[in-house]
Amino acid sequence: MDDKEMKKMVLDYVKREYLEEGDDREITESTPLISGGIVDSFSMVSLKRFLEKKFSIAIPDADASPEAFDTVNSIVALVNRFIK
Amino acid sequence: MFSDKCRQSYINELNGIKQQGIFKQERFIHAPQGAEIEVEFPAGASTKKVINMCANNYLGLSSHPEVVKAAHEGLDVRGYGMSSVRFICGTQDIHRQLENKLTEFLGTEDTLLFPSCMDANAGVFEAVLTDQDVMIADRLVHASIVDGMRLCKAAQDTYKHSDMEHLEAKLQEHQDKRNRMIITDGVFSMDGDLAKLDKIVELAEKYDAMVFVDESHASGFIGKTGRGTHEHCGVLGHIDIITTTLGKALGGASGGCVSGRRELVELCRQRARPYLFSNTVAPVIVYGALKVMDLISKTTERRDKLEQNTIYWRKLLKDAGFDIKEGESPIVPVMLYNAKLAQDIATDLYAEGIYAIGFFFPVVPKGQARIRTQLSAAHEKHHLDKAIEAFTKVGKKYNVLGKGKKEIIEMYGM
Ligand SMILES: Cc1ncc(COP(=O)(O)O)c(C=O)c1O
């Protein structure tokens, strides 16, 4: 899977998992998710689990920082570190 | 040691909080809690008489003469303090009596008192769940539940606020776990909406999950006889764990409890750290709370009055043209969306003699700033009439009457 496909997959998941009905905020690959108040650190766990399942990787808690999870771009960069 | 460098780093941190506009300051109240209070704000200013629209004094029992009298009596017959945690020598007969009363009132199997509901929520999950279990929480649960979940080794997941489809998907996803626990507030403290407990119980049965409900903003007044959200939703007896507080409707002093299935409560007695390692509520408070339970078990008068006040206040706000969150609870948020606008309006309301507080990110989601008003059975019609006069005057000044979300955001931004 190339980066573009991965980004789309993560972006789709974020929209499905975190946007409430009627929430029309535009989310792109560089939208700040956590510092932007879209994903709170309490709800971040399901995103981590999704990535681990989808890409068959294990992300150590120490690496699953709010900074690493802040944008789709940084998330895909993180995932790539563990795939390779 | 607290070096200059060390001190400076904390000064910088505090300044950061001030710059973000979220620095909190206390207001000193020179009176017992009630519908009308004397407030000193800012510190050093002369006191001002205001109508209180932000207390959790839902049933108006915080300074009720009979409760105060009972507390005096408690002081005389059981003393001031216990100087011990519960399981050493800190349990009196009256603590158990109060637990039994709460069990009966909440319609559960057993109850354990905690120093506060914050403590109950902090201790309960770790006491009853292991790393083979999963906790699935509504995303808007109270901060104390989030803390309690963090202390517990069970897997964590969340579902979109009150979204039953999303909850169902999560329950399906976690069928491989030993035990599942659905976690929600009964009444959500920021929006004032009620959890769909009937649907939640149905899903819990379908997917073999336990149900946990924090009833802090419901116990004593939601439901026909005030037992709570589970009564309102017709699922009395179906909730496995209820936590609630004595610090709001039920006298308003302090104390909380875990109430529910016998075995779960017993495990809390064995393992819950805030129960084991902190003193429980003082005898004075237990006596006061016993009187509260007595008062609200005898008659629904106070909760009925609160309901009338709620209906009346919601109508006043709507007729005046405010954008409110619809619902039935005595928590009525007036939506303003913009943080500064919410703060400015709260300040102007205070000048008009109305005490209500603006809430904004991070307490509520970004772009969801509001003034939260809360009703009490201690409010009389004239209080609410005076309050709406002030709200209308200030609402006109900021041109928000008759305006919805879109228009307010156009004027003031998110
Ligand atoms: C939903 C909820 N749970 C728990 C608490 C904590 O209650 P206590 O004051 O008893 O610690 C509060 C109070 O703010 C609350 O709103």
The CATH code of the domain that includes B72 is 3.40.640.10
Residues with Cβ < 8 Å from B268, sequence gap 6 or more? B112, B123, B124, B127, B128, B258, B275
Domain boundary among B248, B273, B298: B298
Beta pairing class for B256-260 and B110-114: antiparallel
Task: Check whether residue B222 and residue B350 sit in a common domain.
Answer: no
Whether residues A45 and B158 touch (CB distance < 8 A) is answered with: yes
Query: B226, B61 in Cβ contact below 8 A?
Result: no
Q: Mean pLDDT of all residues in chain A?
A: 89
Average pLDDT over residues B339-347: 95
Active site residue ranges of B: 189, 217, 248
B3 in a structural domain = no
Query: B111, B103 in Cβ contact below 8 A?
Result: yes
CA atoms of B115 and B119, how far apart (whole Å): 6
What pLDDT does A37 receive?
83
Residues of A in contact with B366 (CB under 8 A): 36-37
Beta pairing class for B134-138 and B155-159: parallel
Q: How many CB pairs under 8 A join A and B?
A: 25
Residues of A in contact with B365 (CB under 8 A): 37
Q: Inform me whether the pLDDT recorded for A21 exceeds 90.
A: no
B41 in a structural domain = yes
Task: Check whether residue B290 and residue B335 sit in a common domain.
Answer: no
CA atoms of A46 and B45, how far apart (whole Å): 49
Query: B67, B291 in Cβ contact below 8 A?
Result: yes
The 10s digit of each residue's pLDDT in B44-88 is 999 999 999 999 999 999 999 999 999 999 999 999 999 999 999
Beta bridge partners of B244: B257
**What torsion do the CA atoms of B54, B60, B63, B68 make, to the nearest 10 degrees?**
-150
Q: What would the two tokens of residue B1 be?
A: 């040691």
Q: Inform me whether the pLDDT recorded for A23 exceeds 80.
A: no
What pLDDT does B200 receive?
98
Nearest by CB to residue B157, choosing from A21, A40, A45, is A45
Query: B167, B139 in Cβ contact below 8 A?
Result: no
Q: Inform me whether the pLDDT recorded for A41 exceeds 90.
A: no
Per-residue pLDDT band for B296 (boundaries 50, 70, 90) equals very high
Task: Check whether residue B208 and residue B284 sit in a common domain.
Answer: yes
Q: Inform me whether the pLDDT recorded for B223 exceeds 80.
A: yes
Q: Inform me whether the pLDDT recorded for A84 exceeds 70.
A: no
CA atoms of B374 and B193, how far apart (whole Å): 13
Whether residues A20 and B163 touch (CB distance < 8 A) is answered with: yes
Task: Check whether residue B53 and residue B80 sit in a common domain.
Answer: no
Prediction pTM value: 0.95
B361 in a structural domain = yes
CA A39 to chain centre: 9
Chain A residue set in contact with B, beta carbons under 8 Å: 18, 20-21, 36-37, 40, 42-43, 45-46, 49
CA atoms of A50 and B69, how far apart (whole Å): 57
B340 in a structural domain = yes
B262 in a structural domain = yes
Task: Check whether residue B245 and residue B135 sit in a common domain.
Answer: yes
CA atoms of A80 and B17, how far apart (whole Å): 36
Per-residue pLDDT band for B21 (boundaries 50, 70, 90) equals confident
Q: Inform me whether the pLDDT recorded for B227 exceeds 90.
A: yes
- DSSP notation for A16-67: HHHPPTT------TTS-STTTTSS-TTTHHHHHHHHHHHTT----GGG--TT
User: The domain containing residue B396 runs over which residues?
Assistant: 29-58+301-412
CA atoms of B210 and B23, how far apart (whole Å): 39
Residue in B339, B414, B399, B330 with CA at minimum distance from that of residue B371: B339
Alpha-carbon distance A12 to nearest alpha carbon in chain B (angstroms): 15
User: E strands, B78-226, where?
Assistant: 110-114, 134-138, 155-159, 180-185, 209-214
Number of separate domains in chain B? 2
Task: Check whether residue B175 and residue B275 sit in a common domain.
Answer: yes
B5 in a structural domain = no
Higher pLDDT, B414 or B396: B396
Alpha-carbon distance B329 to nearest alpha carbon in chain A (angstroms): 22
Mutate: best of B158, B183, B409, partner A, most A CBs <10 A: B158
Task: Name the residue in chain B with its Cα closest to that of A49.
Answer: B157
Ligand 1 centroid–CA B118 distance in Å is 6
Task: Check whether residue B211 and residue B318 sit in a common domain.
Answer: no
Whether residues B163 and A46 touch (CB distance < 8 A) is answered with: no
Task: Check whether residue B323 and residue B286 sit in a common domain.
Answer: no
Per-residue pLDDT band for B311 (boundaries 50, 70, 90) equals very high
Query: A10, A74 in Cβ contact below 8 A?
Result: no
Q: Inform me whether the pLDDT recorded for A22 exceeds 80.
A: no
Task: Check whether residue B86 and residue B177 sit in a common domain.
Answer: yes
> How many C-beta atoms surround the C-beta of residue A13 within 10 A?
17
Quick check: ipTM above 0.90? no
Average pLDDT over residues B177-186: 98
Beta bridge partners of B245: B256
Question: Between the ranges A79-83, B188-192, B362-366, where is the mean pLDDT highest?
Answer: B188-192
Residues with Cβ < 8 Å from B390, sequence gap 6 or more? B349, B352, B353, B354
Write out the H or E segment, with its range, that includes residue B322. none
Q: What would the two tokens of residue B350 be?
A: 């205070």
Average pLDDT over residues B384-402: 98
Task: Name the residue in chain A with its Cα closest to that of B157.
Answer: A46
Order across the sheet with B180-185: list the strands: B110-114, B256-260, B241-245, B209-214, B180-185, B134-138, B155-159
The 10s digit of each residue's pLDDT in B344-391 is 999 999 999 999 999 998 888 888 999 999 999 999 999 999 999 999
Alpha-carbon separation of residue B151 from A21, B107, B164, B170, B353 (angstroms): 31, 28, 26, 21, 43
Q: Inform me whether the pLDDT recorded for B307 exceeds 80.
A: yes
Residues of A in contact with B170 (CB under 8 A): 46
Higher pLDDT, B181 or B21: B181
Chain B residue set in contact with A, beta carbons under 8 Å: 137, 139, 146, 155-158, 160-161, 163, 170, 361-362, 365-366
Domain boundary among B298, B316, B337: B298
Alpha-carbon separation of residue B109 from B96, B103, B389 (angstroms): 14, 6, 47
B1 in a structural domain = no
Write down all domains in chain A, each with its CATH number in brackets: 3-16+31-82 (1.10.1200.10)
Q: Inform me whether the pLDDT recorded for B402 exceeds 70.
A: yes
Residues with CB under 6 A from ligand 1: B 116-118, 121, 142, 144, 185, 189, 214, 216-217, 245, 247, 256
Q: Which residue has the tokens 């043209």?
A: B321
Q: What would the two tokens of residue B347 be?
A: 């300040």
Task: Check whether residue B185 and residue B54 sit in a common domain.
Answer: no
Per-residue pLDDT band for B22 (boundaries 50, 70, 90) equals confident
Q: At B320, which CATH number?
A: 3.90.1150.10
Per-residue pLDDT band for A36 (boundaries 50, 70, 90) equals confident
Q: Which residue has the tokens 């579902």?
A: B159
B325 in a structural domain = yes
Percentage above 70 pLDDT, chain B = 100
CA atoms of B320 and B395, how far apart (whole Å): 9
- DSSP notation for B31-44: S-SSSEEEEE-STT
Task: Name the residue in chain A with its Cα closest to that of B162.
Answer: A20
Domain boundary among B298, B333, B353: B298
Average pLDDT over residues B125-136: 98
Q: Mean pLDDT of all residues in chain B?
A: 97
Angle at B106 between CA B296 and CA B138, to 5 degrees: 120
Task: Name the residue in chain A with its Cα closest to that of B158.
Answer: A43
CA atoms of A56 and B57, how far apart (whole Å): 52
Q: Inform me whether the pLDDT recorded for B197 exceeds 90.
A: yes
Q: Inform me whether the pLDDT recorded for B304 exceeds 90.
A: yes
Task: Check whether residue B51 and residue B72 sit in a common domain.
Answer: no
Residues with Cβ < 8 Å from B62, sequence gap 6 or more? B32, B33, B34, B55, B251, B252, B253
Task: Check whether residue B331 and residue B282 sit in a common domain.
Answer: no
Whether residues B139 and A37 touch (CB distance < 8 A) is answered with: no
Ligand 1 centroid–CA B390 distance in Å is 30
